[in-house]
């Protein structure tokens, strides 16, 4: 008999077992252990009281991990992983877990539910659509190894890029508050904020949120751009973008890996830059949203009508 429990009611080893069975044969190796699983719950803001584990009698066979955060006065939930053991697929286990998860979201007064799914995972996407999720964007993880010395950077003496703060970034009118969950500053460590200003009118016109990867000696071996935005109505947008990315990528050695994570199709200017200089796709995802209240509907509408869509 299949039953659904909250993760908070289960043993940690049961949840880890459910994860490893649920993601066996996935598009990449998602195998975890107790320490890594616990660290992920904390880092990504996933809540045991909101997450569910499926059992066949006492055997863990699947799970959905979830968390919430505030965006202004609205509450957003994130599905951070849905997995069902191979032997139990196509038996309605995923549907039972989705129903329970959405019931919990209602209890938690969630306004907008979001998630990402691997682009090729058509079965998972179909399941989410069955429960009201809509594809609102496509996300890409891009990487580039080697020199960027051949780029013709369009820089301007009037453009100044300086370190910024999380508070300053979030206060920007063009801050991407509905960026994919894992690109939020609160779900990462060792992040840097860069602010671009136009010297003639000293106000922020762009920002980048980045993360460095260090080796055991402290040397930078990789840098990832989690968010990069240019004010939609700013002049010299290409110069703003190039100034930001030159500051982010330029000081890194030629041996370091450069990446864009969760880069949205709708961020056309950054996407065009990445394609033009030879970044390649590692994996692509769909970005899905499900409004659960009128506030959620407004947030969804706001995302679909992002200022820079159609202007870049």
Give me the pLDDT at residue 311, please: 39
Nearest to 240 by CA among 188, 196, 298: 196
Nearest to 245 by CA among 200, 276, 213, 282: 276
| Global confidence as pTM | 0.93
Which residue positions in the chain have pLDDT lower than 70?
307-312
212-244 core/surface letters (b: 16 or more CB in 10 A; e: else) = eeeeeeeeeebbbbbbbbbbbebebbbbbbbbb
Neighbours of 70 (CB within 10 A): 9
Residues whose CB falls within 8 Å of the CB of residue 180, separated by 6 or more in sequence, listed in order: 114, 116, 139, 262, 264, 287
Give me the pLDDT at residue 307, please: 44
Torsion of CA 68, 69, 75, 80, to 10 degrees: -40
What are 106-142's pLDDT values in tens digits? 999 999 999 999 999 999 999 999 999 999 999 999 9
Residue 251, token pair as written in the block: 């000081």
Give me the pLDDT at residue 102, please: 98
Q: Using an 8 Å Cβ cutoff, are 76 and 30 in contact?
A: no
The burial of 84, by beta-carbon neighbours within 10 Å (0-12 exposed, 13-18 middle, 19 or more buried), is given as: buried
β-strand pairing of 191-198 with 201-214? antiparallel
Q: How far is Cα 110 from Cα 93, in angstroms, rounded to an integer?
A: 23
Q: How far is Cα 175 from Cα 207, in angstroms, rounded to an integer?
A: 8
Domains of the chain listed by start with CATH number: 2-110 (3.40.630.30), 141-286 (3.40.630.30)
């Amino acid at each position: 008999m299949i039953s659904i429990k909250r993760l908070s009611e289960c043993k940690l080893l049961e949840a880890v077992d459910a994860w490893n069975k649920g993601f066996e044969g996935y598009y990449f190796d998602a195998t975890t252990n107790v320490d890594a699983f616990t660290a992920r719950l904390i880092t990504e803001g996933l809540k045991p009281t909101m997450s569910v584990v499926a059992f066949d009698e006492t055997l863990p066979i699947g799970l959905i991990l979830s968390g919430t955060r505030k965006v202004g006065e609205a509450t957003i939930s994130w599905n951070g992983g849905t997995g069902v053991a191979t032997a139990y697929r196509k038996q309605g286990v995923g549907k039972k877990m989705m129903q329970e998860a959405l019931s919990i979201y209602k209890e938690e007064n969630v306004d907008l539910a979001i998630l990402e799914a691997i682009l090729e995972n058509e079965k998972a996407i179909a399941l989410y659509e069955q429960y009201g999720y809509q594809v609102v964007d496509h996300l890409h993880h891009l990487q580039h190894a080697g020199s960027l010395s051949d780029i013709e950077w369009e820089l301007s003496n009037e453009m100044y890029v300086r370190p910024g703060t999380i508070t300053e970034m979030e206060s920007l009118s063009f801050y991407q508050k509905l960026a994919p969950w894992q690109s939020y500053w609160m779900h990462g460590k060792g992040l840097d904020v860069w602010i671009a200003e136009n010297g003639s009118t000293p106000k922020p016109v762009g920002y980048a949120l980045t993360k460095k990867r260090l080796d055991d000696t402290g040397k930078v071996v990789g840098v990832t751009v989690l968010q990069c935005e240019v004010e939609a109505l700013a002049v010299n947008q290409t110069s703003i973008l190039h100034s930001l990315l030159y500051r982010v990528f330029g000081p890194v050695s030629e041996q370091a890996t450069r990446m864009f994570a969760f880069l949205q199709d709708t961020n056309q200017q950054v996407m065009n830059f990445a394609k033009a200089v030879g970044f390649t796709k590692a994996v692509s995802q769909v970005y899905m949203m499900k409004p659960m209240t009128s506030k959620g509907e407004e947030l969804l509408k706001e995302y679909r009508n992002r200022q820079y869509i159609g202007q870049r």
